[in-house]
Amino acid sequence: KLGLKAIIIEDMPADNDWSIIKMSKNSVEFLPADKYVGLNNYDLAAQLRKDMGTKISILSIGGAGEKGYRNSTIQVTDMSGNPARAAARGGLGALMGSKKIKAIVLEDTGAVDAQYADKEKFIAAHRKFVEGVKANPVSGQLLPALGTASLVNVVNGLGGLPTLNYSQGRWDKAEMISGEKLAEIQQTRGGKTGHACQPGCVIKCSNVLHDADGKYVTSGCEYETIALNGSNLGIDSLDFIAKVDRLCDDFGLDTMDTGATLGVCMEGKKIAFGDEKGALGLIKEMMAGTDFGKILGAGTDAAAKYLGVKRVPTVKGQSMAAYDPRALKGTGVTYATCPMGADHTAGNSLGAPDINPYSKDGQVTLSTNLQVAMALIDSLGMCIFASFCIVDPANVGHLCDMMAAKFGGEWKPDRLFGLGVQSIALEKKFNKGAGFTAADDRLPGFMYTETLESCNSVFDVTDEEMAQAIPF
């Protein structure tokens, strides 16, 4: 409503003082943040709403961002005012903290509607696209019913569920952390499935989790969080996972990297697999800023190096998502080649029709096409789950019509998907300038040599084949 496509914060502060950036219809203010420094995200959000009113949205960092941890997040408030939505990968919290920005507060009172070349045509095309989203069995049925937690049983059945630091792909206790189990528990506790993360959401895949006393713990407890802090650690308690999610959101830690880091700690015998108390203790070390906590806050690679662990599930320094690439080789190509590192949201091949996920055949082309589509969706600011329906050319047409009605001009599929190509090319250019080479487009060595027994597979896409991915 403020008409902002992006917020760009350049340069560094002249002094060492922390600020709150408050943005409204007619102003941008840098306000002193002394009273807010040291607060974690839940207390910070409550205090900002007390000081500035309840009709605000907040982007903030907790202690992890203040400390400059490489696994730190920027948390965003949901419709209930809880900072439960995370911009979590790549250490964005540390970047925001380096600029001494504790929070960005958006207040849209009096803001005008967005501008359109043809608003009526946009609304008509949008309605048709939404019909496509709702008609898709994943975005229209599975996700609203169980959220992304529905993937636990799906990926376990495929044999690609990260288990005990990616040493297994199938877990006999997966049902205990499944979407079905989560929904069953929340029905008795007053929690909720089918929760929208923002106004206007038509998928509503979020879950609101309550504890045994019926008190709110967290919302948006996603599949990645569940698998990487559940099966990956040999822990079958959804209450434990919800507690981890709340701690991470509050302090501002990436739940995925946290789970991967705890996994290498267990592999390195720092604590045992299945040790809930020990895992929570290590998270609290990060929060306290102990010497070892700082190592953990530097990410999975740093923890593995310190502990002497060789089986490290990272690419370009970023921990893998919760899909073993030996069972989903298209996703493996994406992990290896996408500029971000091991990023499932850059192009996940789960559910791709007519492609054997265990075979390397066709996976490079599949990954390339998926990466272009996801880069497009990201460029448009859309939820990636809205992308499931664009396998239908009619829905691509509706998206083209929306672009024409919004910006004017003629939009055809080539121009539309060209936005994704441009985005990837720009990211690759940045990586090249930062010193990355083709040698970095590789999975960790154990993925090529250790057979994943659940699907009797190693990752066997060759370096030469990998070089053909995203050739932009």
Is the model's pLDDT at 16 over the cut of 80?
yes
Residue 364 predicted with pLDDT over 90 = yes
Q: What pLDDT does 435 receive?
A: 97
pLDDT at 353: 87
What value does the mean pLDDT take over residues 9-14?
Answer: 92
pLDDT digit string, tens, across residues 322-359: 999 999 999 999 999 999 999 999 999 999 988 999 99
Judge whether residue 141 has pLDDT over 90. yes
| pLDDT value of position 195 | 86
**Confidence band for 64, pLDDT divided at 50, 70 and 90:** very high
Q: Would the pLDDT of 372 be above 90?
A: yes
CA 75/CA 333 separation, integer angstroms: 29
| 193: confidence class by pLDDT, cuts 50, 70, 90 | confident
Looking at domain 148-319, its CATH architecture is Orthogonal Bundle (1.10)
pLDDT of residue 110: 81
The pLDDT-based confidence of 113 (bands split at 50, 70, 90) is confident
219-267 pLDDT, tens per residue? Answer: 988 999 999 999 999 999 999 999 999 999 999 999 999 999 999 999 9
Question: What's the pLDDT tens digit per position in 194-214?
Answer: 888 888 899 999 999 999 999
Listing DSSP states for 139-204 in one string gives: IIIIHHHHGGGGHHHHHHHHT---BTTTTBS--TTGGGGSHHHHHHHHHHHT-EEEE-SSTT-SS-
Q: Mean pLDDT across the chain, nearest whole number?
A: 96
pLDDT at 108: 87
Q: 19-106 adopts what CATH topology?
A: Aldehyde Ferredoxin Oxidoreductase;  A, domain 1 (3.60.9)
For residues 227 and 219, give the distance between their C-alpha atoms in angstroms, rounded to a whole number.
Answer: 16
Distance CA 342, CA 376 (A): 19
Q: Is the pLDDT of residue 1 over 80?
A: no
Asked if the model's pLDDT at residue 146 lies above 90, the reply is: yes
Model confidence at 25: pLDDT above 90: no
Identify the architecture of domain 329-466 in CATH.
Orthogonal Bundle (1.10)
Q: Give the residue from 78, 158, 204, 129 showing the smallest Cα distance to 387.
A: 129
Mean pLDDT for 103-107 is 97
CB neighbours of residue 437 within 10 Å: 8
**Domain segments of the chain as ranges:** 19-106, 148-319, 329-466
Tell which wins on pLDDT, 27 or 329: 329
> What is the mean predicted confidence (pLDDT) over 404-424?
97
Confidence of residue 4 (pLDDT cuts 50, 70, 90): confident
